[in-house]
Amino acid sequence: MKKVLFIDRDGTMTLEPSDYQVDSFEKLVFYPSIFQYLGKIARELDYELVMVTNQDGLGTDSFPEEAFWPYQNHLVKTFANEGIVFSEIFIDRTFPEEQAVTRKPGTGMLTAYLNNRNYDLSASYVIGDRLTDMELAKNLGAQGIFIDNNADLGADEVTDTNLEQTIALTTKSWEEIYRMLLLEKRAVRLERNTEETKISIELNLDGSGKSKIDTGIAFFDHMLDQLARHGGVDLNIKTIGDLEVDEHHTIEDTAIALGETFAQALGDKKGIERYGFTLPMDDSLTQVALDFGGRSWLVWEAKFKREMVGQMPTEMFYHFFKSFADGAKANLNIKSEGTNEHHKIESIFKAFAKAIKMAIKRDADKMILPSTKGTL
């Protein structure tokens, strides 16, 4: 499915003149750094570019056609010369008092994108300097990027002032817009249901370590909370398993689903570090080496003398990490030594979390695939 950037013109591509009407070359001043960063968006990122602009009274005595088209055509040609090509250009000519459905924040000009399976509007953005642009984003089911040079622009035309959840970024900088789109949020939701377990997972790789875990096994919940907290990811897990039989299916299926969730959230893996971690905890020392390289493998060197830690069978620790590696298509090498069984397994989960934190880190200046194979 295609993603779209619906981009406003005046105040977004160009600086807004004092009378809000670009009708001379003197008034046609391009927004700082737009060629550099919109150009990078056009070349590097997978978005269709669409211009959407309100031009009050275009074609009337107050704004004759000849006072608009020379400068509009020059603008479009200048962008094209820089490799920035708009697939469509939508211009509404009405006055605000007409309340036309085609005028932003109305969606009348953009009906071709609504209920169209070829477009993913939830992953698309409206970029503009007016609140009407942000309400347009909400009406489309998209997200908004607000260029905040005057927070009150368009306030007299919006009908919905509850736009906080729609606005993904407030900025004055096209560089910030580029970097936000480049490092798009890596958040996914996954459900996995079988005859034995029902699992729901929400994961945000760029979170802050918040978690809500409920698997029905308290010690397992505690370990998964360590994974979120020390891995710096937001993680919600709800597992309903056949614990009346035993813990096996609950632990193994949760691990498979969690691995699959990580694989989805990592996406094309461009820019990630890919690897990582050694961690001491009191008497124990643990080494976890991790590679999100697309091939599953587990080396496990950890022995436990107790049958249970809390309500969790120690034999299931191996199964958890094996299932995660299979689901995430990851290579895991885990070694741990120590005398206290609780410390040992907790250090394994903490080191695993730190390895994940290192491996999923992205470098915005090096958005390349960390592999000579060309795929991961």
- One-letter amino acid at 18 equals S
10 is catalytic: yes
Task: Give backbone dihedrals phi and psi of 326, rounded to 5 degrees, phi first.
Answer: -65, -45
Query: Out of 8, 234, 253, 291, which one is annotated catalytic?
Result: 8
CA pair distance 364, 149, nearest whole angstrom: 26
Q: Which residue has the tokens 């409920």?
A: 214
CA pair distance 26, 22, nearest whole angstrom: 9
CB atoms closer than 10 angstroms to residue 139: 18
CA pair distance 345, 354, nearest whole angstrom: 14
C-alpha distances out from residue 340 to 81, 284, 353, Å:
67, 7, 20
CA pair distance 244, 2, nearest whole angstrom: 46
CA 132 to chain centre: 24
148 is catalytic: no
Contacting residues for 331 by C-beta, under 8 A, at least 6 apart: 289, 290, 291, 293, 295, 296, 297, 298, 325
Query: Out of 10, 129, 253, 291, which one is annotated catalytic?
Result: 10
CA pair distance 69, 46, nearest whole angstrom: 29
CA pair distance 249, 240, nearest whole angstrom: 10
Active site (catalytic) residues: 8, 10
